Every structure is written in C-alpha cells, then in structure tokens.
Amino acid sequence: MKTIFEKDKNLNSKPFYLNENDFIEENKRTLELNLPNMSELEVMRHYKELSDRNFCIEKGFYPLGSCTMKYNPRVNEEISSYEGFLNLHPNQDDADCQGALEVIYDLENLLKIITGMDAITLQPCAGAHGEFCAMNIVKKYFEVKGEKNRKKVLIPDSAHGTNPMSAKMNGFDCVEIKSNSDGLVDVEEIKKAVSEYGDEIAAIMMTNPNTLGLFEENILEISDILHKNGSLLYYDGANLNAIMGHTNPKLMGFDLVHLNLHKTFSTPHGGGGPGSGPVGVIKELEEFLPNPRVHFDGEVYSRKNDYKNSIGKVSTYFGDFSVYIKALCYILMLGKNLKDVSSDAVLCANYMKEKLKKYYKLYYDKICMHEFVLSGDIQKQKGVSTLQIAKRLMDSSFHPPTVYFPLIVHEAIMIEPTESENKEVLDRFIDEMIKIAKEVEENPQSFENYPQKTPVKRADETLAARHLDIKYDFSNK
Ligand SMILES: *Cc1c(COP(=O)(O)O)cnc(C)c1O
C-alpha cells in the first residue's frame, strides 16, 4: 500500500484550503509544508484502507494471553465522550466539576471494594506506571520508618518483566524466586531467601493467578512468612479478571496492588494508550499516596493535597480521566454480576485447555484460572517453532496468542480467551489449533512460508530491531 504522500500526484502544490493571505507575516512558514493534495474522499479511502489492515476484537478472536483483549461495550465509550466530561479542564474550580470529582470518588470506592484495599489513587497511566508508583511508596514507607537497609525485592521467575524493572527503577535489588514443579512460587525458596536476607527484604511482588494462569495456593503461608519478616506484599493486578468478586488481594494478605483498567475494566488497549493503572494500599500506607485526592463531605466534592507523606505526583492532574468513566460505567452496569465475568473467563480457559492438551504439551496440567500456557515442544521436535505456529495463525481469522512468555515455559503459547467469547468461537479456534498440530505432523516444511495473506509477510525482526526506520523520507520525492 502506498503512503498518502505517494498517492498525492502533485506533492509540491499548496493544499487548496490554505490561503497565505490569511496569515500575518511572522506566522508564515519559511519551509515548504508537505501536505498531500487530495480530495476528502481520497483521504477517507486511504485511512479506511489502513484501518482495514488492523486486527481488532471486532474483527475476530484475540486470545493474547496476559492482555485480556476482551470486548468493551460501546456504550461506555459513548458516555466517556459526553460533552460535560470532554470539555472540562482540570484547572476549573471544584464547583465547576462536581460530576467529574464524583466519578473519581465513586470509582475509587468501588475499586476499594473489589480489591479490599483501604485507599486508591487513580493517577498512574498504565500497569507498569502503577508498579513504579507502588514500589516508590514501598521505598518511602521504609525510609520514614528508618529501615534503610530494606533494599531487596523478591520476584518469582514467572513474573512479568515490568516487575523487576519497577523495583530496579526505585533503587531496589531483585532476588529471583524459583517456581516449583507445579508452576507455583516455591515456599521453600521464600523461606531460604528470608533466612538469607532477613531484614534486607522490603517486599515481594506477586501476580495471582500467576502468569501461568495458576492460582498461587500457598499465598497465605507466603504472606505470613513475609509479614513476620516485616516485609510488604505487592500484588500485580493484571490478572484481576480471574478473581473479581470471588476473592481479593487483601484476603490473600497483600498490602499494595495495581490494577489495569485497560485490561479488566472496559478500555480497549494496544497502540500505546490511553491506559490506567490505579494503585490501592492498606490503611498504613495511605499517607504515602500521590496528591491530590478527592474528598466528599456529604454534599460537596473537593480536591485536597493532604496526604502528609505523599510521594508526590505521578501524573499531570488526575491521570487518564476518560478511562475512569468507562471503568465506572462497566462496574455499575454489571454490579454483582462482575463475579460472573471472572467465572466465565475461567470456564472458557479450562474448556480450551482440556481440548488442546491432547495436541500441545501442557507442562502444568491442573485447573487453570482465566488463561493457560501450552508449550510448542512437541511441534519444535518436528522442526516447527512456536513463532512459526503464530505466523501460521496470522493467515487464519484469529489473532495469535502470546508467545514465548512466560519465560519459564519452553516455546510458550499463552492463551486467554476472556469471558466475552461464545462456545462457537472457542470451538473454531480449537479446531484451527488442532488442524495446525496435524499440519506439523504431515508437512512441517510448509511452516516456512507463513503468513501468506497478510500485507507484510515475514519482517526481518533483527534488522527492524537494530535499524528502526519508521519515518517517511521526503528527500526521496
Ligand atoms: C500487562 C501486564 C503488566 C503491565 O501493564 P501495562 O499496562 O502494560 O503497563 C504487568 N504485569 C502483568 C502480569 C501484565 O500482564
């Protein structure tokens, strides 16, 4: 497909809608403006063609594990674009934005109920940003307490890469905790780390269910050991979709959590945003949250900078406000049925896992939560890698699952169906995966040539990583 500049037949002519005489001299451009000279219809066709090349949930099944690519009801988009929200400026007086402050206040309260935490900040703009904010709170908490040697953070080997990064960026050293043969955090390893490092341990960062989609059954024992050691427990809430209304991080013994509103609560994601990664904390950590917060005296909402040991701000104003509106609508719309979201997500994942485990290696064969991780090891022995299976899937009507994550599973294929798909879709995907397993048996060579139907075939990934080239070069015109 040509770029819009290549489609323009007369690049250097001035676009007809700009009249030089409309501008005062000092505001006039001194350089040529490279705008394509096209009709509105041509522009519309160009962008429609581009958008048709995207894969999206409205086009097909999108089982990207760890990402929760579920369908987000359109009504929430519509409400978040109401003019009263859209045209509000955060510098307006409290009196002008009572409704927006109420949205923030109500969402925080609902997220407190869902997580069991005592206070929430909505400021962080992504999961990783929430992790950073929370680990900053951990750091400040121990500074204020005078426990300055707590410099170590325990992180399971199944953790998302952002966990060690968030710890490191706050000056902590990471200690890796090995998983056991059940795919769970090994309690003996925790005990070993505690006896080795003792009061150097600031916190553990855990995901539950973990990134293998397995529930950490020993979480109460783990939280007990760490609390007795004076350490904090941080909950990576990216997998909250599996447990809503059934249990919560507080019941598991966690002290801080982050959530991904763009995974669990009705904001589409990908393409870099907008996202939101609220952080929840227990009472003892509330004073460290970012300022400002919203108060309600029973009649009026107001903003105050009154967290006395606040880590400061992590976003401009309150963060990604439009995402809060969608999350609030989603939670209010579902009410107590939010529990069914998680039940259905777990049911869908277990159904697929049971059907596919006869064809792909399943290292941890037990009941899973909202996602599961297969391995392409059997196929790899026949000469077909997980990457080639993913490329083959690109020629079907499905988005490939997450591959090569988590790192502890060879040739990992991580599937998260979400609750929003029906059985017919799940069955079609299962059939496709079985078909692929059979193709591997019969004709492994054919996998060298996929994808064939996509606009770009096989990108040279090494070249793309080393010589990133995403700019259009006008000098070639
Ligand atoms: C997605 C994810 C994150 C990071 O969230 P972002 O919003 O992408 O920054 C952290 N941990 C886990 C387990 C995740 O799946």
* Distances 469 to 46, 457, 463, 464, 466 between C-alpha atoms, Å: 22, 17, 10, 7, 9
Q: What per-residue confidence (pLDDT) applies to 272? A: 66
Average pLDDT over residues 184-192: 97
* Domain spans of the chain, in order of start: 1-53, 76-336, 339-464
Does residue 111 surpass a pLDDT of 70?
Answer: yes
pLDDT at 11 over 80: no
Q: Which of 64, 155, 160, 243 to mutate to test the pocket of ligand 1 (most atoms within 8 A of CB)?
A: 160
Is 260's C-beta closer than 6 angstroms to any atom of ligand 1?
yes
- The contacts found for 136-139 with CB under 8 angstroms, 24 or more apart, are 136/170, 136/311, 136/314, 137/256, 137/279, 137/281, 137/285, 137/288, 137/289, 137/311, 138/170, 138/202, 138/203, 138/232, 138/234, 138/256, 139/170, 139/171, 139/172, 139/202
- φ, ψ dihedrals at 176, nearest 5°: -80, 135
| CATH number for region 76-336 | 3.40.640.10
> Which stretch of 56-60, 161-165, 211-215 has the lowest confidence by average pLDDT?
56-60
Question: Would you state the pLDDT for residue 31?
Answer: 79
Facing residues of 281 across strands? 119, 256
Q: Is 249 helix (H, G, I), strand (E, B) or coil?
A: coil
- Mutational test site, ligand 1, from 260, 261, 320, 369, max ligand atoms within 8 Å of CB: 260
Q: What are phi and psi of 412, to 5 degrees?
A: -60, 140
User: Does ligand 1 lie within 6 Å of residue 126's CB atom?
Assistant: yes
Mean pLDDT of 91-110: 97
Average pLDDT over residues 62-90: 95
Indicate whether 18 pLDDT > 80. Answer: no
Query: How would residue 142 be classed by pLDDT, with cut points 50, 70 and 90?
Result: very high
Pairing of strands 372-375, 412-415: antiparallel
Which range among 127-131, 310-314, 366-370, 470-474 shows the weakest confidence by mean pLDDT?
470-474
- The C-alpha atoms of residue 289 and residue 300 are separated, in whole angstroms, by 22
**pLDDT over threshold 60, residue 16:** no
pLDDT value of residue 278:
98
Ligand 1 atom, smallest distance to 130 CA: 9
Sheet order of strands, 402-403 included: 372-375, 412-415, 402-403
For residue 415, report the distance from its CA to the centre of ligand 1, in Å: 16
pLDDT band at 4 (very low <50, low <70, confident <90, very high): confident
Tokens (6 digits) for 229: 């050691």
CATH ID of 339-464, from 3.90.1150.10, 2.40.110.10, 1.10.10.10, 1.10.3720.10: 3.90.1150.10
Alpha helices in 97-126 (DSSP H): 98-115
pLDDT confidence of residue 174: 98
Mind listing the pLDDT tens digit for each residue in 240-294? 999 999 999 999 999 999 999 999 999 988 766 689 999 999 999 999 999 999 9
Residue of 401, 399, 391 whose CA lies nearest to 446: 391
